[in-house]
Amino acid sequence: MAMSNVGIPCRQLYIDGEWREPVKKNRIPIINPSTEEIIGDIPAATSEDVDIAVEAARKALARDDWGSTTGAQRAKYLRAIAAKVLERKSELATLESLDSGKTSFESAADMDDVAACFEYYADLAEALDSKRKTPVNLHLDSFKTYVLREPLGVVGLITPWNYPLLMATWKVAPALAAGCAAILKPSELASITCLELGEICREVGLPPGALNILTGWGPVAAAPLSSHPHVDKISFTGSVPTGTKIMTAAAQLVKPVTLELGGKSPIVVFDDIDNLDIAVEWALFGCFSNAGQVCSATSRLIIQESIASEFLDRLLLWTKNIKISDPLEEDCKLGPIVSSGQYEKVLKFISNAKNEGATILYGGERPEHLKKGYYVQPTIITDVNTSMEIWKEEVFGPVLCVKTFKTEEEAIELANDTKYGLASAIMSKDVERCERFTKAFHSGIIWINCSQPTFHQLPWGGKKRSGFGRDLGEWGLEKYLNIKQVTEYTSADAWAFYKSPSN
Ligand SMILES: NC(=O)C1=CN([C@@H]2O[C@H](COP(=O)(O)OP(=O)(O)OC[C@H]3O[C@@H](n4cnc5c(N)ncnc54)[C@H](O)[C@@H]3O)[C@@H](O)[C@H]2O)C=CC1
Ligand SMILES: NCCCC(=O)O
Ligand code: NA
């Protein structure tokens, strides 16, 4: 096993710029998924702590040191956070791997992305100053009008465990750039690095209450945010059932929500590809990176019949070559699943597929050389039909299911045969065909001749049951702004709608 000499910090809740013990004093153990050992614990917030954090956030908005900042001032905080993340990159990456099972390479890449995302929204915060007030010319002498873009208020950010600090950053950075006050509730399965973000905010002197971080169980620590009358918006990434609960609670208060939910994304491979191995590697990366725990994982391979056999042969060779180990070991390419619950869920999907008549072409079990930890072999499933669970449901593990097609029409029908609509990928050298698929795919993200590369300048989100609204890019900022129109009557003349009693 790879050794780490990084200690797990013992933190409290981060509220109003300081560490606070939860009112009920409860804690949740942190489990390292590669050893199944308890390595520390995190505070467990309850609705009492949520109330305190919401009050701190409201006060921050009312105070000049946060509520009256310009975008340029907020950008300074965001850049300072980015710099601290880079300064602590190696430690944060190790903590992320110990907590979530991510390979050290992927955790380090996440930390780079976290810093770059804070930098990006610092730029957008600065740009916001010149767009804060936009005059609108009505071509009328008697009215002067303009539009203000203001922070929306107190926002609740509820995030998952698959990219713990990165998913938090996709929401925290734009919310702070917009000037909102935020309450972040990371996943109870992986919260360590999000709590360290609290320490970073304290060190850079982010005004108290601008960002509060509450760890804890979802129904106890996050649900009260959805139903809180003083939380103005919820931005959520996670499962469909939880997204539905959040939307239902928020609907009672007509509270806006952004939901980034699951997926069962297709990767369609045509026989005109130039290089089989290049396409095979993208198919692999699209489903097995981050151990398949990616909302946009292209977990349905739809392959043209004419090259299916050769493609699968190559896919098998590449898959067998994947190094599965403790995520901190050098060159590890597949770590464990995040928790025992998720591990059992993935294995159940595989056994259900077998019971429904599919073939486990490769994998499907714990790797023989790893006796402890929530490890699942990269798994390839063939002889799949469209009524099977494995075709329809999100596994959130390293499990690829395969179907073949003959014609383009058949391929697009299979690709769109899902209740989800997050991402879709096509591999083909025919430019016009790629354009046809770009239009025909029912999803918010399209990858052409690749799968998964993600850039913070581009909108991220889906349609159908993958949710609505967008993280990232300028769209990721807009959702934290209130658009306020101001109409001023500038004429000295009376309005003269009613008859004046004086004449
Ligand atoms: N779209 C995505 O990126 C993700 C999708 N998932 C999917 O969800 C499945 C289950 O994973 P979970 O960790 O159980 O996801 P989840 O959706 O329950 O958890 C995500 C976040 O929601 C919070 N939460 C839980 N119950 C809540 C409630 N009633 N109100 C408000 N917030 C609540 C959790 O504490 C966590 O912070 C996975 O197998 C996968 O299919 C999970 C994580 C990320
Ligand atoms: N590459 C980032 C994926 C984000 C997500 O799974 O939600
Ligand atoms: Na953990």
Nearest atom (ligand 2) to Cα of 297: 6
**Burial of residue 480 (number of CB atoms within 10 Å: 0-12, 13-18, 19+):** buried
- Between CA 166 and CA 162 the distance in angstroms is 9
pLDDT of residue 412: 98
pLDDT of residue 1: 56
| Mean pLDDT score, 418-441 | 98
Cite the DSSP H helix spans in 366-471: 389-392, 408-415, 431-440
**Claim: this prediction has a pTM higher than 0.95:** yes
Would you give the DSSP letter of residue 103?
Answer: -
Choose one of 100, 240, 285, 295 to mutate for the ligand 2 pocket test, by most ligand atoms within 8 angstroms of C-beta: 295
* Residue at token pair 């690829």: 400
Q: Would you kindly state where each structural domain of the chain is located, as residue ranges?
A: 13-262+466-487, 266-448
Instruction: Domain 266-448: give its CATH superfamily.
Output: Aldehyde Dehydrogenase; Chain A, domain 2 (3.40.309.10)
Q: What is the pLDDT of residue 2?
A: 64
Percent helix, strand and coil across the chain, each rounded to 5? 40, 20, 40
Please check whether the domain covering 13-262+466-487 is classified as CATH 3.40.250.10. no
Burial environment of residue 83 by CB neighbours within 10 A (0 to 12, 13 to 18, 19 or more) = middle
> By alpha-carbon position, which residue is closest to atom 34 of ligand 1?
218
Distance CA 416, CA 443 (A): 9
Output the CA angle 80-84-90, nearest 5 degrees. 155
Q: Pick the atom of ligand 1 nearest to 189's CA.
A: 13
pLDDT tens string 141-197:
999 999 999 999 999 999 999 999 999 999 999 999 999 999 999 999 999 999 999
Establish whether residue 296 lines the binding site of ligand 2, counting it when its CB lies within 6 angstroms of any ligand atom.
yes
Kindly tell me if the per-residue pLDDT of 437 is higher than 90: yes
Tell me the pLDDT of the chain averaged across its residues. Answer: 98
Q: Is the pLDDT of residue 115 over 60?
A: yes
